[in-house]
Structure 1
Amino acid sequence: MLRAATLADLPAVQRLYGTLHPDEPPVAPAEARGILQRIIDAPGTDVLVLEHEGVAVATACLVVVPNLSRGGRPWAVVENVAVDATVQRRGHGRRLVGDALQRAWDAGCYKVMLQTAATGEDVHAFYRACGLTSRTKTAFTAYAPGFSVVGAAL
């Protein structure tokens, strides 16, 4: 089952997010609870959770942004895609990304953007198989002063 996260999903979401940045400490539970509540309350923003056999095995954040160009059609970004390593290559990631894309299309979005810091061809092939391309845009990223990004080429 794929659905929007609730506060009860916080431990599972934090566990999955921990796989994305294992060198970073998790957000403290009380603060994380407040952050997730703000996400839940924000129109157009969802942390998606994919369950398999009653266990959260994948998550991603989808943000749909109102837009004054492109005929007023919104655009979206998918961020923090994480799939539990024990269930990778079983279609869960593809289902998660596919559902995020469909939710964006259903919201009238004209495009969805996703960036990955992963450099492996297997990850890039996965996203291409999900219908994303890296051939049409060049992504630039700015990080807050003093924010250390391990492995990032700045």
Structure 2
Amino acid sequence: MKIRTADHGDIPQLLELYRHLYPDDTETTIEDARDNWEALKRYTGSDIFVGCLGNEIVTSCTLVVVPNLTRGGASYALCSF
């Protein structure tokens, strides 16, 4: 499996993957997904990582690094699979 950061062109495949994982979820349009992806990319320390088998995305992880006021100002991360 190859792990890499997602790019703009991965959005349709990501939406397919999420539909498979959550079949009863409300569908997101490609336009809304692109807007949300672009907003996430503007947030410093955040990205979407994908795991690929060949050219197929089979897993993803959204990572958000959050600035912190405790622990000596050390940031922490939130990850959503």
Q: Same fold (TM over 0.5)?
A: yes
Paired residues for 1:108-147 under 5 Å: none
Three-state SS of the structure 1 residue aligned to 2:21 is coil
Deviating 4+ runs (over 6 angstroms): none
Structure 1 position 60 matched with structure 2 position 66: no
Contact kept? 1:62, 1:78, Cα under 8 Å: yes
Across the aligned residues of Structure 1 and Structure 2, the Cα RMSD in angstroms comes to: 1.2
Following superposition, the deviation at residue 17 of structure 1 comes to 1.6
Spell out, residue by residue over 1:48-76, the C-alpha distance to the aligned partner (whole angstroms, 9 max, x if none).
Answer: 11111121111011111010101111111
Spell out, residue by residue over 1:8-41, the C-alpha distance to the aligned partner (whole angstroms, 9 max, x if none).
Answer: 0001111122233211232111111111111122
- Identify unmatched segments of 5+ residues in structure 1: 82-154
Spell out, residue by residue over 1:69-115, the C-alpha distance to the aligned partner (whole angstroms, 9 max, x if none).
Answer: 01111111111x1xxxxxxxxxxxxxxxxxxxxxxxxxxxxxxxxxx
Q: Find the counterpart in structure 2 of residue 17 from structure 1.
A: 18
Structure 1 position 71 matched with structure 2 position 68: no
Q: Which has the higher contact order (CA 8 A, sep 6+)?
A: 2
Counterpart residue type for residue 57 of structure 2: A
What is the CA–CA distance in structure 2 between the aligned matches of 1:54 and 1:29, rounded to whole Å?
20
Paired residues for 1:21-60 under 5 Å: 21-60=22-61
Following superposition, the deviation at residue 43 of structure 1 comes to 0.8
Contact kept? 1:6, 1:40, Cα under 8 Å: no
What is the CA–CA distance in structure 2 between the aligned matches of 1:23 and 1:32, rounded to whole Å?
17
Three-state SS of the structure 2 residue aligned to 1:26 is coil
TM-score (norm 2): 0.87
Three-state SS of the structure 2 residue aligned to 1:67 is coil
- Identify unmatched segments of 5+ residues in structure 2: none
Identity of matched residues, %: 32
